Amino acid sequence: MAVSVVSICNLALSKIGVRSKISSIDAAGILPETCKIHYEHTRDVLLQSHLWNFAMSRKALSRNAVAPVFEYTYQYLLPADCLRVVSMYNESAAFKVEGSNLLTNATAVNLKYISRITNELLFTPLFIESLATRLAAEMEEEITGSTDKSNKLNGEFKVKFKEAKRRDGQEGTPDRVISRGPADFKFDSLT
């Protein structure tokens, strides 16, 4: 079975104990409507919460014509799909994210960031399992009128999410960033 919004929502519904399945989140009814309300937000929260390899993107940013009023020299528009800025490649200049802009003194910005992934085929199986479990915890009361399974679902989510992050972090060489400490420089891993 191909991975889709519907298959992930049906997996979440089964975790709640619902035997009915949905065929679309755009259909009428409590199940598809609840899935539609919660799916995108829950997906984006999970994407933003870790440096997922499948969601990592790179882009050279274009400088805005309008400079920041003070503190920084340049302003760059963030990509529309940016959920979380990770780093500026090959650049040690300080930066701040304000709204949809990145402010810095760097004359060029090559950005690494977590992007909003809307193609479920790119999700890893462990991410899907985590997403479905978190979605089930979010939707349970609205669908069943009860919170009987909330503690179980939240506990299951924590275990699955930890495993998904652990496995994801094992792919590739860990990124290293320089962290400026009070007295000297040291290298800290992002993961």
Q: Would 64 be classed as within a structural domain?
A: yes
Question: In this predicted structure, what is the pLDDT of residue 175?
Answer: 61
**142, two tokens:** 């609205």
Q: Write out the residue range of the structural domain in which residue 28 sits.
A: 5-51+124-169
Q: Are strands 176-180 and 110-115 parallel, antiparallel or unpaired?
A: unpaired
Residue 19, pLDDT above cutoff 60: yes
Looking at this protein, which amino acid is placed at residue 149?
A: K
Q: Would 77 be classed as within a structural domain?
A: yes
**169, two tokens:** 């972090």
Question: In this predicted structure, what is the pLDDT of residue 171?
Answer: 83
> Residue written as tokens 């860990």?
174
* Residues 20 and 68 grouped into a single domain: no
Q: Tell me the C-alpha distance between 165 and 5, whole Å.
A: 21
Q: Would 190 be classed as within a structural domain?
A: no
Tally of domains in the chain:
2
* Residues 12 and 31 grouped into a single domain: yes
Question: Pick from 117, 133, 152: which residue ends a domain?
Answer: 117
Reported pTM: 0.86
* Residues 21 and 46 grouped into a single domain: yes
* Residues 108 and 131 grouped into a single domain: no
Question: In this predicted structure, what is the pLDDT of residue 185?
Answer: 36
Q: Would 44 be classed as within a structural domain?
A: yes
Question: In this predicted structure, what is the pLDDT of residue 92?
Answer: 85
* Residues 104 and 70 grouped into a single domain: yes
Q: Would 98 be classed as within a structural domain?
A: yes
Question: In this predicted structure, what is the pLDDT of residue 138?
Answer: 96
Tens-digit pLDDT profile for residues 58-81: 999 999 999 999 999 999 999 999
Q: Would 178 be classed as within a structural domain?
A: no
Q: Tell me the C-alpha distance between 76 and 110, whole Å.
A: 11
Buried b (16+ CB within 10 A) or exposed e, 90-112: ebeeebeeeeebbbbebeebebb
Q: Would 189 be classed as within a structural domain?
A: no
* Residues 14 and 44 grouped into a single domain: yes
Tens-digit pLDDT profile for residues 79-118: 999 999 999 987 789 999 999 999 999 999 999 999 999 9
Q: Would 107 be classed as within a structural domain?
A: yes
Enumerate residues 6+ apart whose C-beta is below 8 A from 156: 15, 133
Tens-digit pLDDT profile for residues 147-191: 889 899 999 999 999 999 999 988 877 666 544 444 433 334 443
* Residues 64 and 102 grouped into a single domain: yes
* Residues 132 and 102 grouped into a single domain: no
* Residues 107 and 61 grouped into a single domain: yes
* Residues 100 and 146 grouped into a single domain: no
Q: Mean pLDDT over all residues of the chain? A: 90
Cβ atoms of 136 and 13 within 8 Å: the answer is yes
**149, two tokens:** 């399974």
* Residues 96 and 62 grouped into a single domain: yes
Question: In this predicted structure, what is the pLDDT of residue 132?
Answer: 98
* Residues 61 and 99 grouped into a single domain: yes
